[in-house]
A and B are shown apart, each in its own frame.
Chain A
């Protein structure tokens, strides 16, 4: 059954080597950061100490954004939100990210309408695409970019498995495009020896 392309960012699914606690770490987003960040988006540490939505590339990422809270300028109260809309906060935004170096994530493959990520790609590194997040649900539109599968050491993610069960479940057709895969951090702050 063909997979439907409806990317949802990076969804933490399991750990590796030790039981994951699903810890979320607190970081900050500058209130004047006009770029929206959605739950499931990769984020990058800036030289200012804040985080921002990552751009696909070979720069190490800080982790996966999973929500935030901030003092809404319009509502004059604290707002909890699955996404940072890019404006509307008084003061810094308290952001929550997953940066466990052993975390593994389910994500959808995109970038090609004909080819998904296949078994032979397990072990390779891969980049992501930001896609379009939903301002209704706050869920990310990020996906794993099939066209970037490579051995490059600085790519942000490592392909560690394919999602193929239960049969007929969403994204389980690994013979066609838009399948779901399991990825781990590859170039992330908590694993990289390079500082910001």
Chain B
């Protein structure tokens, strides 16, 4: 069924005070979480390499130890999604609509639909960060896990016991990231928390933690250590309406690893069907959200 006269029955007569239903859209947040890139392939693959481990002690006259284990360890796949939406509207519904300015037959909000869909897919990466996605591959673990394998040990980017966002837990994460994040050979890397990502329910907590000059939640004059520990959180915090948990929170680090790839930018097209005179309008876009390095994020997933 196309959008027909019955669908716009009150727009056929003069006298309506107004036509409502279209609202301001939520500004995009995905671009504050994901780095952006372009793609010209069906699947983009990122190889995670192992470089050299620690240098070894040499004894006098003894042989130099060799580390011949450099090489590929993991491959992360990112396959693009095809996103499309269309609608059909009859010729009479176009011709007889008296409120075309408010209810434009050629623009019923495809861009808004696509924009919000993109937000959902973006934050779905975080919402499902505790579930391993075999199509991504990588190290065989979920994006946020307590046991990411590297040579000789494992590394966590999630607390052993998921914790609520608070001054203590945030500081613990900010001090844990620099000391525990290692490359695939086991060398410590320069990793620092840079941005807090929270759902709307945690925004008041995020404000209190990141905006207070003095220690949050106390009556004394201690400085707020969050602002300076390991460089603080210079990129502030991001709130998303599309995070499905009211309790999960994330820290993005200075290490890139969350990636949006644009394969075909948003395009819109329309045509009039020869036999029915219906106007067909559709939009199309192709992209993907994914990740290629767990060191880009720290996540905690309390359930209450």
A residues near B, CB below 8 A? 4, 6, 8, 11-16, 19-20, 22, 82, 108, 134, 136-137, 139, 165-166, 169-171
Contacts and interface: CB of A to CB of B under 8 A. Distances in A.
Contacts of A82: 71
Given A11-B69, A137-B74, A170 B63 contact: no
Interface string B46-75: 000000001111000001111111010110
A12 B66 contact: yes
Contact of A169 (B54, B68, B140): B54
Contact of B153 (A4, A16, A139, A166): A4
Interface in B271-289: none
B154 A6 contact: yes
A165 B152 contact: no
Contacts of B178: none
28 contacts: A4-B152, A4-B154, A6-B152, A8-B69, A8-B151, A11-B68, A12-B66, A12-B68, A14-B64, A15-B63, A16-B63, A19-B63, A20-B63, A20-B66, A22-B68, A108-B152, A136-B74, A136-B139, A136-B149, A137-B73, A137-B149, A165-B56, A165-B57, A166-B57, A170-B152, A170-B153, A170-B186, A171-B152
Contacts of A134: 140, 149
Interface in B170-219: 186
The 8 closest A-B pairs by CB, nearest first: A165-B57, A4-B153, A170-B152, A14-B63, A136-B140, A137-B73, A6-B153, A169-B54
The DSSP consensus for interface residues of chain B is loop
Nearest to B152: A170
A13 B57 contact: no
What does DSSP make chain A's interface, helix, strand, loop or mixed? Answer: loop
Nearest to B50: A137
Contacts of B186: 169-170
Contacts of B69: 8, 11
B152 A8 contact: yes
Nearest to B73: A137
A12 to B, nearest CB: 6
B69 to A, nearest CB: 6
Contacts of A12: 66, 68
Nearest to A5: B153
Contacts of A19: 63
B152 A14 contact: no
Nearest to A180: B152
Contacts of B55: 166
Interface string B71-91: 101100000000000000000
A22 B153 contact: no
Nearest to A104: B63
A133 B57 CA distance: 29
Contacts of B73: 137
B115 to A, nearest CB: 36
Contacts of A136: 74, 137, 139-140, 149
* A6, A8, A15, A137: residue with the most chain B Cβ atoms closer than 10 Å: A137
A6 B56 contact: no
Nearest to A19: B63
A108 B69 CA distance: 15
B242 to A, nearest CB: 31
Interface string B129-140: 000000001011
A139 B233 CA distance: 37
Given A136-B74, A137-B74, A22 B66 contact: yes
Contacts of A22: 66, 68
Given A13-B67, A14-B64, 10 more contacts: A6-B152, A8-B69, A14-B65, A82-B71, A108-B152, A137-B149, A165-B57, A166-B55, A166-B56, A166-B57
